[in-house]
Chain A
Amino acid sequence: MPHEPAHPTRPDQDAPLTYYQLLEQAVRELLIEKRLLTAEEIRAAVERMDARSPEQGARVVARAWADPDFRKRLLQNAPAAVAELGIEIGPLQLTVVENTETVHNLVVCTLCSCYPRNLLGLPPDWYKSREYRSRAVREPRKVLEEFGTVLPEEVTVRVHDSTADLRYLVLPRRPEGTAHLDEAALAQRVGRDAMIGITVPD
């Protein structure tokens, strides 16, 4: 029995299908009739994306916090390092950027909504919003504050606009007072928003 999807599906409403929902069904059925795809492939692809979630990213972050050599490998070649944990990300050109005492990273895609989906799953609505895409490059500190993240002037804010094939994961700073935690407990401290850079772990 498949586990609960990371992205719960909104239940169907009783309203008739919209034009676009009909369009999706039309395209899907035509592709199946032409034997270009099967219904099973489509169902499996939905399940695969559902299985992807920020928990996968959190495992990567927790390992990097716990193991300095892994952290080095992750910064050098993220896809290879992630594979060590048995996480399959396909052709994703994952690039990890590290928050430090003096640098804070924030990821955006101003042109569309590029996001490391194969690692973190589907992006949140706010990441795809016109407001975020417009303002994250222009006034990142104000945007960060809207999400409750205030950074002193001594910390450089580095924004990454994903315009090509690189997909960014922010490696947040390990919070104070976590030296005694094992990896599983560390992973609990890492949320999706911290890996986009809009927040920091508590």
Chain B
Amino acid sequence: MSPRFEVGASVRVRNVSPPGHLRTPFYIRGCQGVVERICGPYRNPEELAYGNRQADRVPLYRVRFAQHHIWPDYCGPEQDTVDVELYEFWLEPTSENAHAA
């Protein structure tokens, strides 16, 4: 399965909270960031958590976020960042690259 997003793509984290084992931290939901690297395919932890060891592999990305975009009152320089690993189904293209299929 080929990754949907390229390195450098602008993405937004879905803002949803289904009850389950989520590895997308609450603080990053709804935030916009940039794909820093494509980590490769990994089995979906949300399914592994329920004992499904044959869970599908999903592309995992490292996404970089500007601290100022996460915390309105962030105390530090503009260029400070947080990198978070996120699974593809948690990411949407932002309007800047809506052409990503």
Contact = CB atoms under 8 A, between A and B. Distances in A.
Interface of A: 110-111, 137-142, 153-154, 156-166
Contacts of A166: 39, 62, 85
A196 to B, nearest CB: 15
A160 B75 CA distance: 18
A99 to B, nearest CB: 14
B87 interface: yes
B51 interface: no
B94 interface: no
A161 B79 CA distance: 17
Shortest beta-carbon contacts, A-B, top 10: A164-B85, A156-B79, A159-B82, A163-B85, A157-B80, A153-B77, A161-B84, A160-B83, A163-B23, A158-B81
Range for the number of chain B residues in contact with chain A: 20 to 34
Contacts, number: 66
Nearest to B76: A141
B76 to A, nearest CB: 5
A142 B75 CA distance: 9
A153 B87 CA distance: 32
Contacts of B79: 156
B25 A163 contact: yes
B42 interface: yes
B83 A161 contact: yes
A156 B80 contact: yes
Interface in B46-101: 60, 62, 70-71, 75-77, 79-87
A86 to B, nearest CB: 26
Contact of A138 (B62, B71, B77, B83): B71
Contacts of A157: 76, 80-81
A165 B83 contact: no
A165 B85 CA distance: 8
